[in-house]
Amino acid sequence: MTGGLTEIVGESGAGKTQILLQLCCAIQLPRSLGGLSKTAVYISTVAPISTPRLIQLLSSFRARFADNLQPDDELSTDHVLSITCGDLESQEHILNYQLPVVVEKNNVGLVVLDSVAANFRAEYDGATSSMLKSETPQKRKTGPALLAERGKQLVKMAQSLRNLARLYNIAVVVANQVSDRFECFNPRQKSVSDGETMTLDHQSKWFTGWGDEKHGVDNKVPALGLVWTNCVGARIALHKNPKSNNVSDQSASESSWERVMKVVFAPWAEGGTVCHYTIEPDGVKGVAMREFQR
């Protein structure tokens, strides 16, 4: 959705980057085909954008819409502007100063940040980070003070992205990683006391995307905590589970995995809406339930 901040969250290998790259292709399509005929900006905090994969997806888009594209409807890597920022300081400078200029001058319709958690984890997790070492012991922040500082930076960054989305009516989509939750709440427990209904574990299934009845007990939770959850306008969770218990290694074929995309909350879709999908050479595709159950 344009004018807002959308998050796609999932564990490694769930397909977050694949969906983001596909969005970079879809934004270039004309409005008659569901696009905006605009340029995408891809900001990476982990690794440079996968140009070979982007070219492969653009080729599949050209083949798919060949009969409906006009001569001036150019689908090209020239319409995907990318940059890599490996630390929080450069990320903040890019988002606050460089990005607004690029959006205004290049007919941008989509901004992608992949991922939002990487630099925050590197800077704030662990008392031995370079940020902490650079300060004197008297000024060094630990424990609650460090979490408060991180929360302040998260809110500031989210506000900048939301303002950018509203000012230029563009879509801002960020990928987020997941963390392990060691004490896992069981949503299938029939009896829940009044005290338990007020706990974070009980209520989190409505805004994290994990731990509901459809997907059973899960020990994952989106990174960056409740502060970041309150900053995003929509959250889409990607679940990747083996179809059978004997499939455990990451090298298993694509057909061995059950992939589920779930709208956790959004102003434009009902929360809890799910669809199955697969990742193919020509892109991410939805799968009909009857086909999936075969």
Per-residue pLDDT of the chain (294 residues; tens, 9 = 90+): 999 999 999 999 899 999 999 999 999 999 999 999 999 999 999 889 999 999 999 999 999 999 999 988 889 999 999 999 989 999 999 999 999 999 999 999 999 999 999 998 888 765 444 444 555 444 455 567 887 888 899 999 999 999 999 999 999 999 999 988 776 555 555 555 555 666 766 677 778 888 765 554 567 889 998 899 999 999 999 998 887 554 444 445 666 778 999 999 999 999 889 999 999 999 999 987 655 454
Output the pLDDT for position 153. Answer: 92
- The pLDDT, as a whole number, for residue 130 is 47
Angstrom distance (rounded) from CA 247 to CA 173:
32
List, edge to edge, every strand of the sheet that includes 108-114. 80-84, 39-44, 108-114, 171-176, 4-10, 234-242, 257-265, 274-280, 283-287
Distance, in Å, from the CA atom of 51 to the CA atom of 71, rounded to the nearest integer, reads 24
Q: What does the pLDDT read at residue 250?
A: 46
Pairing between strand 283-287 and 39-44?
A: unpaired
30 vs 38: CA distance, rounded Å: 8
Asked if 102 and 108 touch (Cβ cutoff 8 Å), the reply is yes
* The pair of three-digit structure tokens given for residue 66, joined into one six-digit string: 């060949």
Q: What is the pLDDT of residue 247?
A: 43
Write the DSSP symbol of residue 112: E
Structure pTM? 0.85
Name the phi and psi angles at 31, rounded to 5.
-60, -30
Distance CA(203)–CA(272), nearest Å, equals: 14
Angle formed by the axes of helices 16-26 and 51-64, nearest 10°: 50
Multiple choice CATH, 5-286, 1.10.357.10, 1.10.287.990, 3.40.980.10, 3.40.50.300: 3.40.50.300
